[in-house]
Structure formats: C-alpha cells, structure tokens
Amino acid sequence: MIVKDKAIQNAVSATAKAGLKQEHDVAFYLRRAFKDHTQVHVINDIKFSFNDETAQIDHLIIYTYGFVLIESKSIKGEVKVNDLGEWTRSLNGKWSGMPSPIKQVELQQKLLREMLFANREKILGKLLGIKQQSFGGRCWDNVCAVSSNAIIDRESMPRNVSKQLVKTEFLVDKLQQVMKLRYSVVNMLNPLDTRPEFNGAELKSITTFLMTQLSVSPPPKKSTKKTIKKIVIKKPETNVQQTTNQATLQCKSCAEPSDYTAQHGRYGYFIKCNKCETNTAMKTPCLNCHSKNTKVKKRKETYTLGCSDCEMSHKLI
C-alpha cells in the first residue's frame, strides 16, 4: 500500500535533477511491487522533527515485522567503499569523496526509533489493559539504492556495506529477502520464524501517526525574514546593544533545510548540501536592514552573519 507517493518537484541544477530522478525511480519500483499489498505500507519522502532534531527519509517501509529505510543516491559512475566505510565515486574520470549514505540513513533510523518509542503507548495502545510489545523487538533494516547504471566495486567493499547497497532495478528483490513476508501456508506455520508481528490495526496506527507528524512539520518557507530566536548582547566597550536572530539556511537548489555540511572555500563560508551536493554561500544581505555590507564569522561550531550598517547579527548555524 502506498500511503504517500513521491511528489513532483522542480530542480535547477543537473545534480539536483539526477537526485530527484533517482528518488522517482525508486518510488516507481515500490509502487509497482507494493501498491495493493496489505502487509506493506510505503511512505515516500517523509520529513519529521523530534527532540529538536529533524530527519528526512527518502522512502520508509512499515511492514508486518518492522521497518525498512531506503536512501536513494544518484551515482552514474563507479562507487567504492574502503575498510573504514569511507565512500568515493568517479565522475567524468575524476574521483572524489562523498558522504556515506549508510551513515546518513542510520542517523535517520535512530531518530525515528526514538520518536516511535516515546509515543509507543499512543500508537500501539493496550490489549486488555496490558501493554503491547513495543518497537524494540521488531526488524529494523536500512538499504541504499543507487542508480541502475552505477558501477559497484564489491570486491574491495566491506561485506556489511555490500549487503545494504543495491541497484534500483534489484531493489524489490532485495526487499523481499529482507522482509521475508509469509505468503504460503507453509511459511505461516514455520516454527522457526518467531518474529513478533504488527496486526492490520497496528500498521494503520503507525502510518497514521507518522503522517500526522509529517503534516505538522511542513518544509520551511524560502523567506529568511522570520525571526526564530532573539537574544540581547551588550558590548562592554561601546555599550551598543546588538540583537542576534536565528537565520534560516537552506540549499539554493533543492531547499534542503538541515542535511548539509558547513565548509570554507576561496570565497568564504558556505554549506554543501548532502542531498544534491550544491554549494550555497552563507553570506546574504542583512535580515534587518537588507544591507549587503555583511560578513560571516565562525566561533567554534557557530556561524554568525554580522551587519556593519545596523550592527545586527544573525546566527546561521
């Protein structure tokens, strides 16, 4: 059952377009395989917040025995992973490092589990006054689906990574191996399969809860004028008050609001989107007076945009 399909989005850069195509390809295979499946619920592109953290999962499967998180990656060249789990890929004959999608989906899974555990009684309820089994005994699996035309060097790749990495055209086969759904009477009566099950009502309750979290956590608007946090700071030497406002950073290509890495380059500080790999400058006009006379400063892990005209400062990260 497809609970939420992949929405149509516009992309500007070639990298962003390739990423969206890959996600749509994965959604297509999932729809073909599980559109009418009562034991498998699919939510594409789910974003939620919990405990002041935000996660965005490309594709989430909730099925009778647990959960499968799928991370989509557009890789047209060759991909290698060394013994330390570090990823590299080739593009037009040039090799470069890339963030590990396996580590990325592991972080998403961790936050998802924390949110479900915190709301387990609300979701699963009680049977005759007794607490139902929680989410701990369920199956939790992660899969990274890369472009079908990618070249995967599995000989030098760690075995555990190779088991989680699959080309899109083989994704459904991989999911069937992971989920091991019971289709025949023989499988249903298998005494060796002791996995706890979600019944139909519980599957519906879980997906309803997750869709509710999705509906109350919409993607942020592109406007950067909204003030989220306000702190008054006083300069001892001049007694001039400054106000630090929280500015919203997001990828200029795909509007990703949180999954990025702060970096420094030839033209100053910028963020590199982990989704579409687009670079976006941190330096912007002042949110207060709109002056372009601004400068980005870094102190430890905090980045601040300061305005020389109105002396306002805006916290970026």
pLDDT for 114-167, tens place per residue? 999 999 888 987 543 445 567 878 999 999 999 999 999 999 899 999 999 999
Co-location of 41 and 90 in the same domain = yes
Report phi then psi at 104, rounded to 5. -65, -45
Say if residue 14's pLDDT is above 90: no
pLDDT band at 172 (very low <50, low <70, confident <90, very high): very high
pTM for this structure?
A: 0.66
Co-location of 47 and 190 in the same domain = yes
Co-location of 155 and 249 in the same domain = no
Co-location of 207 and 247 in the same domain = no
Domain final residue pick, 184, 215, 246 = 215
Say if residue 190's pLDDT is above 70: no
Co-location of 50 and 122 in the same domain = yes
Co-location of 171 and 241 in the same domain = no
- Dihedral-angle region of residue 85 (phi above 0 means left; psi in -120 to 50 means alpha; beta otherwise): left
Structural domain contains residue 179: yes
Q: Are 100 and 87 in contact (CB under 8 A)?
A: yes
The mean pLDDT of 38-51, rounded to a whole number, is 94
Structural domain contains residue 185: yes
pLDDT band at 192 (very low <50, low <70, confident <90, very high): confident
Say if residue 270's pLDDT is above 70: yes
Which amino acid, one-letter code, is at 20?
L
Question: Which pLDDT does position 133 carry in this prediction?
Answer: 60
Co-location of 186 and 283 in the same domain = no
Co-location of 196 and 261 in the same domain = no
Structural domain contains residue 244: yes
The mean pLDDT of 160-185, rounded to a whole number, is 89
Domain final residue pick, 188, 215, 242 = 215
Query: Cα–Cα–Cα angle for 128, 129, 133, nearest 5°?
Result: 90
Q: Are 250 and 256 in contact (CB under 8 A)?
A: yes
Structural domain contains residue 224: no
Co-location of 144 and 273 in the same domain = no
Co-location of 185 and 255 in the same domain = no
- Report the DSSP pairing between strands 66-73 and 241-246: unpaired
Structural domain contains residue 34: yes
Structural domain contains residue 168: yes
What token pair was written down for 239? 């007694």
Q: Are 114 and 50 in contact (CB under 8 A)?
A: yes
Show the domain range for 246. 230-315
Question: Which pLDDT does position 208 carry in this prediction?
Answer: 94
Structural domain contains residue 220: no
Structural domain contains residue 304: yes
Say if residue 183's pLDDT is above 90: no
Q: What is the pLDDT of residues 222-257, one digit of tens each?
A: 544 454 444 444 444 434 344 445 556 788 887 787
Co-location of 24 and 63 in the same domain = yes
Q: How many domains does the chain have?
A: 2
Domain final residue pick, 215, 242, 257 = 215
Question: Which pLDDT does position 23 carry in this prediction?
Answer: 94
Which amino acid, one-letter code, is at 47?
K
Co-location of 262 and 177 in the same domain = no
